[in-house]
Each structure stands twice: as C-alpha cells, then as structure tokens.
Structure 1
Amino acid sequence: MSKSKTPAKVSTGIAGLDQILRGGLPASNLYILQGAPGAGKTTAALQFLRAGVEAGERCIYVSLSQTAAELTAIAQSHGWTLDGIRIEELSATDAVHGAADQTIFQTAELRLDETREAIEQAIEEHKPQRLVYDSLLEIRLITGDAPRFRRELLGFKAFLAKRSVVAMLLDTQTSETATGGEEVEGIAHGVIRFDKSLEDYGSVRRRIEVSKMRGVPIADGYHDMAIREGEGVVVFPRIVPGDAIDARKAQLIKSGVDTLDDMFGGGQESGTTTLVIGQAGTGKSTMASLYAMAALKRDEHVALFLFEERLETFFRRSEGLGMDLRQFHKDGQLIIRDFSPNEISPGEFAQIVQSIVTEFKTRVVVIDSFTGYLNSLPHREKAVRDIQSLLKYLARSGVLTMLIVAQHGLLGQNVGIDVDVSFLGDTVLLLRIMEDEGRLRRNITVVKKRHGPHDLDVHELFIKSAGITVVPFNPLPTA
C-alpha cells in the first residue's frame, strides 16, 4: 500500500502564523484574510507575496481599494521593496495604460463582468503562483446582493483552482459587513481573522485567529500579534506546554545560604514555580538576586525580567548586598530584559521567555514583579491563564521560576492584584515585616511546598551589606 503524500504547503511570510498552521498554507487554495481597517491585512498580504518572491514564484497584487503608490509607501515604511510583485490596480477611467512593471486598469463604477474580465486577463497574462485580491468589500458593493456575490466568488475560486494559484483575498470588516461573512467562509479553504482593540490605556492590542483551515490541525483560538517597523506583522503563538522537552533529571537548586536551603528541605526543585510574596521592603527582589547569584556561580544561565525596577537600580541594590551581577550580564550568562508592560502582550512575553530558555538552556527564571505585569494588562484573568501555560512549559523544561508578588502598602496584607494567583506556585515563600518592641523585624516562612518536606517555622531574615542571613525567630527579651 502506498503512503499518502503530505500536502505541499507555502509560507505565509509570517513565522508565527506558519507555526500556528503547522508549516504554512496548503498549496493551490483560496484563503480569506478578514479584519477591520488598520488591522494589518495589507501588510500581511505583502509579506505573503514577498515570501513567494523569495521562493522564486510569480506574484500579483490585484487592488480595487489601494493605489500602487499607497502599497509602495506601506512597503517602504518597513524597509521593503515591491520588486518581483506585479501590481494590478483598478481605478477611475476606462483607459488602460501599460508600464514596464505594472498595468493600471482605470474604470468608473465598473460593471462586475468588466472587473472580472480585467482580473482574469491579468492572471492569464502573468500566470502567477500567488495572488492577493484587495478587497472583497468593493466586490460586495458592485454585486449588490449576497447570492450574486457568492456566485461570483465561486466562479473566481474555480478559475484560480484550474491554474493552481494560491490566493489570499482581503475582506475588510465594517459594522455593516461584520455579520455577513458566512458566504465567504463557506467557500474559502481557510479563514484568518485579524482583531484589534483600543484599551483605556496603552497601545492597541492585536490578535489573530485562524477560524477555519481545512485539513490542517491548527493551533486554534486567539494568538497575540503586533505590527513592527521593519518586521511587519509579527505573530506570537500561544505556548503549548507539551512542546517542552528536557531530558535532565530534577535537581535541588540551592540559594547559597544553608539555613535558607534547610527551610526547603535541602533546596528548591528544578521544574517548579515559587511565589515570593511580601510587602515593600521585605526582601522579595533580594531573594531573587540570591538564587540568581548562586546559579551563576554554578555556571548556569539565568533570565531576569524586570517590570518595575530599573536595570541600574537592580545592579546597585545587588552590589549593596555583596552580589556583583554586572559582569555576568556583560558576559551574557545573566540575561536581563527591562521593558514597559504596557507595550507588551502576554503572548509576546511568553515567546520572549520561551526563546531565551531554549537558546541558553536557562535554569533559573525570575519575573520581577509579577504584580506589576498583571496590573498593566486589561484582561488579567486571561493573562493568568497565559502565564499558567508558560509556567507549565518552563516546568517541563526543568526551570526554577520565581514570581515576585507584591502586597499592598508597607504593612498591608492584601496581595496587590484582584485575581487569585496562589495556585500558580508549587512553593510559596512568605516575607513579612513585624514590629517588635519598637523594632521592625523581617520574617521569612515557607508556607507551601508541593514536592518534599519543608520547614513551617518562622525564621528571621537579615539583609546586610555582608550578605543574607536566616536564623530561627526568637522574640526579643523583655525587660
């Protein structure tokens, strides 16, 4: 019995989208790219055609809605050229003008048959392997009713199929057309949707969904995306925890402070998540620096993601405790990313973490602070679900992940986020400040540890320039 061949696939020109599609678009089919004005459809379409040019294919951009000058401007904004892409533009008079690298069909309120004939003639003449049709909104306006529009689309699909053209049809979604896309989705081999929303604060949030793709086991649901200068549309596929592979056995990760390690039953396990919870000034970030320094001295890679503290502040604070981390950072062993959470989506953050862990075989990851990260996002419940998938991925990669979680106020007890994150931690390290006989004392307690034994006693934490000390808590003697 002969084995069935895997259908050929073509790249969309967007690496993250190809990953969602498990390799790309099945060849010789018709696809619909939907989205509101400004969602990124034209940019994605140009990336699709540029990928075809790189593969040595003939490519045509048929435009009913944008001029060649506008397309050129979009390409130039990313540092691209349209070399190798044929532009077929339908605009305002009946005259037909030829040019060395493009043909312009000028029309005034073209009848549908004239539009079809002009496009089919261009396809017959140039015989493209890839085609972008921009946009279906204009064809809807010309046809005037849904049945005629559907017949026209079916005829165009059959015409392209006979010539083995991979076609991407752009469908601009407006308030009038957003609910009328069923006639398109039933005909297309696949439907990709771009979504954008403007929150009360921060930049535009963009998402992508492959709502339909015949014969491909896609990663369905929404995935974060962005439009970047010089890159175009960038897609961040959701993390799949099962993709992580780590053949190393679980090991105890030590802090370098024996009494602290003893509280964890000898150390923290690799492949677990630790929540470090406490008020301001209790030493949360110091704990993270302590474990980072110990890992670096073991010649392991450490990744630190700062959402509140500046990089220079982090270095100076660590140096004040006798931990010089600058050289490790210069040498590339300590990877630090310092960014504004308002400019990053959960999907992009997860991709950054995943790529660093994969590239550098990172053993310790610190997110400081997780509270600041969540508080900057418009949909914190969704962000918690996304971070849960990331934490599972890191666990299966054998990484110790430390999440710094701040509490309200100097002496308050409420965690500074309105969603429950306690379930994320395999281990919970609680840091507190208490007043005792006119003196503030730092307490440290391991309140939860899923794997193995741990000490439930309250200990006192001393943070001094000479280093970190943990001792059993003893009440001050009374006079």
Structure 2
Amino acid sequence: MKEKQLPLRISTGVAGLDEILSGGLIPNRSYLVRGGPGTGKTTLGLHFLEAGMRKDEKGLIISFNLGEKELRELMKGFNPDLQNFSVLDLSPNSRFFSEVESYEIFAPSEVERGPITKTIIERIEAEKPKRIAIDSISQLRYLASTSAQFHKQIRSFLYFLIEKGTTVLFTSEVSSTNPDDDMQFISDGIISLSNSPEGLRTLSPLKYLGSGFLSGLHNLKLSAVGMEVFPRLVPQNHARPFTLEALSSGVPALDEMLCGGLERGTITLISGPSGTGKTTLGMNFMKEAARRGERSVIFSFEEDPELIFHRADSINIPARVMVEKGTLSIQRIEPLQYTPGEFAYMVRKEVEEKNARIIMIDSTAGYRVSLQGEDPVSHLHAVCKYLQNMGVATILINEKEHLTGSFRITELGISYMADNIIFLDYIERYKGSIIELKKAVGILKKRMSGFDSSLHELEIGPNGIRISETLRNLKFIIAGLPSWQEPE
C-alpha cells in the first residue's frame, strides 16, 4: 500500500502557527481569521504576505480598515526590507466624510458589478497575486441589503479569487451583536484569536478541511516585530530514543547513595528549606555534564544569573567558563512576563535546537507565581513529561516553606511526577551543652534502582559538596523537628 501524501503546504509566516496547522496552509483555499478588536488579525495577515514575499510570491492586501501608510508602517516592524507587497486601500478617508460619498457593494446577480468589484478585479487581473489578505470582510456586511445577499456575494467573491489561483486569508470582526457564522461555513479553515481581560492572548484553530491540526488554546504574543505563537505542548507528540544511563554528580558519596547517579529521562525533585544547597546540588550534575561536553540549562525564576555565578565561584563550580563554552545556559524568567505556552516553547528550543541534556527549573514555587495563566501543575506536568520523552534529565528545585512542622516534600503537590526525590533539611546537633545547626541529605524515592535510605550530613564549602557517613541517633525527622543527639 502506498503511503498517503500530505497536501503541499505554504507558510503562514508564523512558525508556531505552521506547526499547529501541520506545516501551514493548503494553497488555493480561503481561510477565516476571526476575533475581536486588537487580537492580531491584521498582524497575521501581514505575516502571511511576508512569507510569500520571501519566496518571491506577489501579495496583495485589500484593506477596508487601515490605510496604506499605516499598513506599511506595521510591516516595517516585522521586516523593514520587505515592502514590495501591494495595497488596495478601500478604507474611508477624510474626503469620504467631507463629500458624503457612499460605497456600492456587489450587485445581487453577479460578482463582477459595482465600483468596488471593478477596482478589485482590475487590480487582481493586473498583478496576478498568489496571496491575498482581506482586512476586514466584516465591513462589507454593513453595505449589503440583506444577510442572504451578503452571504451569496461573499461566497461568489471568494470563489472568484480561488479560481484566479490565489490563497486567501480574510478577517472578521467578532462580537455578540455581529456573529460571523455564515463566513465560518464558506471558509476552508478557521483560526480564532482572543484576548482575555487579564491580557492573556490565545489562538485556536476551529476548522481545517482536508488536514489535521493541533486543537485547543495556544498562547500568542504581539509586539512591535509582529506575532509569535506558542503551540500547546502535548508530550506524547514528542519522543526520541535514548540510553537509560546513570549520570554522575561528581560527588562519589552522593552517587553511592543514588546507586550510580540520576538516569537520563528521569524527573528529580530536590526539596528543602531555603539555604540548604538545593541549587548547588543540582548544579553538580551539570558540572559533570559539561565535562562530557553536554549542554545544561537553568531556568531561574528567582535569582539573577550573576548571583548564581557568584555562588558557583565560591563552591568550585566553573559556571562562567561553562557558559562561555556553551555547556551551560542560565536564563532568568522575569515574573509575569511569560505564559506557560511561551515557557514550554523556550524549553523545547533548548532541547530540539541546542540539544540540552539536563534542564533545571529553579524553583517550582517561582514557576507557580511567575507564569501567567491558571493551573500551573498541569503545565509543569506537560513540560516534565515532554523532557522525559526526549531523554532529558529534569531537576525541579522545590522550596520547603516551613522549617518546622509535619514533614512535607512539596506544597505544590507535584511529588507524584518525580522519579527521584532528594530532600535536604536542617538538623539540630546536641553535643553536651552545645547546639549546632547542620545540614542533612537523604533519598526518599528512586524509581529506576535501589538507593541508600539513610541520612547523611551535608557540608558545602570552597571545595564543593562533601557528604559524610550515615548520621546516627537522629530522631523526630518525620515530625519536622530533626535533631541529633550524640552519645555521651
């Protein structure tokens, strides 16, 4: 049986949207882009034309909203060198108001009649564009005498354009008082854009004849340089083969506790109170990865890279040198600047384009409060499962909020997704009349192998991490008040 060939695709001009649409748009069809004011419809239309210009395809925008000058200014933000698209400016101007001019829409019987029709046909016949953007076709609705007439005219208009060998992207203004159901029926594909009161922008494909697509809500961002779309992360759609081998921490005692180290493709939760050395412990695995020539990435939600460099310098981790050699990247994630979809896309680029082998998210609490949107656990779950499928060792740093009280691994409820759990804590050491505050490390869970279940003293100094032999005479660990009474 012959393998079924997918139809030829052309780019929308937005890489993330092309991925959502299984490679782009099928040519010689019409596509509806619908949404309220300010959702990015015109911007997407310009990206569509820009993608054609990059392939020397002639593009035409028929504008009933913005004038030619405004459209060209918008395009300059995307790419100042691409200005050779054609504009048919049918937007009202000051002369329209002063002279009380009126538009005529297509005659009921034929698409070729009427002043606007004649102007459009003449331009298309003269320029023979391969791509046409119409912004916005909703304006024509107000000029038709009845809804039935409008539907018939628009259908004939789109058929005419398709017969001329063009691919059409047309926009529609959507509101509760102006539905666009009729245009949804006559289009070959529908892309819906929305903007929540909180400013969260999303894109959702609703229809695509003859093609599959990635359904659901996808985050998008608009800026002076145009539109970026971040496809919703579906972990099962991504996988690559890898060897399930243990990765050393470079600390022999810790590797022995872990029965060799942390395996590729596993998720490790390092949990403990502030200052116990969670990030430092995770960075030791990255230091060893750098010796193997592998790349690691820290997504820091709480600390600036310079603070991480300073701490690394003091504990014999050459983080600056690793960054210079490309074996480490430290990316500061500013609060409320990213959506979950955008962050997931950043992670994907590191893995798929730069072959990152270890990813650290520091910390889970920072992730929860820094990213826009709801339900951080489900988004974090998707990122971690994606990394697992791609054979990346994932390290989640979890800040234990309370020093005392009942023993809890995480307040976020994410321990279920961890293959390995390493916990750090403070312990009180009683030696006669002297009380000291020490650090301890233990392994609570390791899915791929056995592990040392005893607690060990942890020391962090100029030479790095040192782990002592098993701590004895400890009590009240689960109660949240670990103490160490040395025998007299």
For the criterion TM > 0.5, the same-fold answer is yes
Preserved CA contact (<8 Å) 1:280 1:409: no
Give the stretch that moved more between structures: 107-116 or 465-474: 107-116
User: Secondary structure, in 3 states, of the residue corresponding to 2:200?
Assistant: strand
**Do residues 226 (structure 1) and 221 (structure 2) align?**
yes
Equivalent residue number for residue 486 of structure 2: 477
User: Secondary structure, in 3 states, of the residue corresponding to 1:186?
Assistant: helix
Shift of 1:296: 1.6
Q: Distance in 2 between matches of 1:442 and 1:392?
A: 31
Equivalent residue number for residue 101 of structure 1: none
Q: In the superposition, relative to structure 1, how do residues 287 and 206 fare at CA in structure 2: closer, same or farther (>3 Å)?
A: same
Please list, as runs of the form range in 1=range in 2, the aligned pairs for 1:69-108 lying within 5 A after superposition: 69-80=69-80, 83-92=83-92, 108=101
**Do residues 174 (structure 1) and 175 (structure 2) align?**
yes
1:401-442 CA deviation, whole Å, 9 max, x = no partner? 101111224546687986422222111112222334332222
Equivalent residue number for residue 373 of structure 1: 367
User: Secondary structure, in 3 states, of the residue corresponding to 1:112?
Assistant: coil
Equivalent residue number for residue 65 of structure 1: 65
**Do residues 212 (structure 1) and 207 (structure 2) align?**
yes
1:349-404 CA deviation, whole Å, 9 max, x = no partner? 222222222233322111111220121234341x4323323222222222111011
Q: Which of 455, 459, 465 is equivalent to 1:458?
A: 455
Q: Distance in 2 between matches of 1:269 and 1:440?
A: 32
**Do residues 306 (structure 1) and 300 (structure 2) align?**
yes
Shift of 1:157: 2.0
Read off the aligned partner of 1:448 and give its amino acid letter.
K
Under a length normalisation based on structure 1, what TM-score does the superposition of the two structures give? 0.89
Q: In the superposition, relative to structure 1, how do residues 257 and 61 fare at CA in structure 2: closer, same or farther (>3 Å)?
A: same
Q: Distance in 2 between matches of 1:93 and 1:251?
A: 68
Preserved CA contact (<8 Å) 2:295 2:328: yes
Aligned residues: percent identity?
31
Structure 1 portions without partners, runs of 5+: 97-105
Structure 2 portions without partners, runs of 5+: 107-113, 473-483
RMSD: 2.6
Q: In the superposition, relative to structure 1, how do residues 47 and 326 fare at CA in structure 2: closer, same or farther (>3 Å)?
A: same
Please list, as runs of the form range in 1=range in 2, the aligned pairs for 1:289-300 lying within 5 A after superposition: 289-300=283-294
Equivalent residue number for residue 441 of structure 2: 444
Q: In the superposition, relative to structure 1, how do residues 93 and 404 fare at CA in structure 2: closer, same or farther (>3 Å)?
A: closer
Shift of 1:256: 1.5
Please list, as runs of the form range in 1=range in 2, the aligned pairs for 1:8-157 lying within 5 A after superposition: 8-80=8-80, 83-92=83-92, 108-113=101-106, 114=114, 115-143=116-144, 145-157=146-158
Read off the aligned partner of 1:473 and give its amino acid letter.
L
**Do residues 186 (structure 1) and 185 (structure 2) align?**
yes
Shift of 1:62: 0.5
Q: In the superposition, relative to structure 1, how do residues 81 and 467 fare at CA in structure 2: closer, same or farther (>3 Å)?
A: closer
User: Secondary structure, in 3 states, of the residue corresponding to 1:343?
Assistant: coil
Q: Which of 384, 390, 401 is equivalent to 1:391?
A: 384
1:299-325 CA deviation, whole Å, 9 max, x = no partner? 322111111111111011112112222
Read off the aligned partner of 2:43 and give its amino acid letter.
T
Give the stretch that moved more between structures: 130-139 or 245-254: 245-254
Q: Which of 320, 326, 349 is equivalent to 2:343?
A: 349
1:277-318 CA deviation, whole Å, 9 max, x = no partner? 111112111111221112222332211111111111101111
1:131-178 CA deviation, whole Å, 9 max, x = no partner? 11110221222226533332222111221222122111111223423x
Q: Distance in 2 between matches of 1:75 and 1:453?
A: 59
1:321-362 CA deviation, whole Å, 9 max, x = no partner? 122221111111112212314211222222222222223332
User: Secondary structure, in 3 states, of the residue corresponding to 2:445?
Assistant: strand
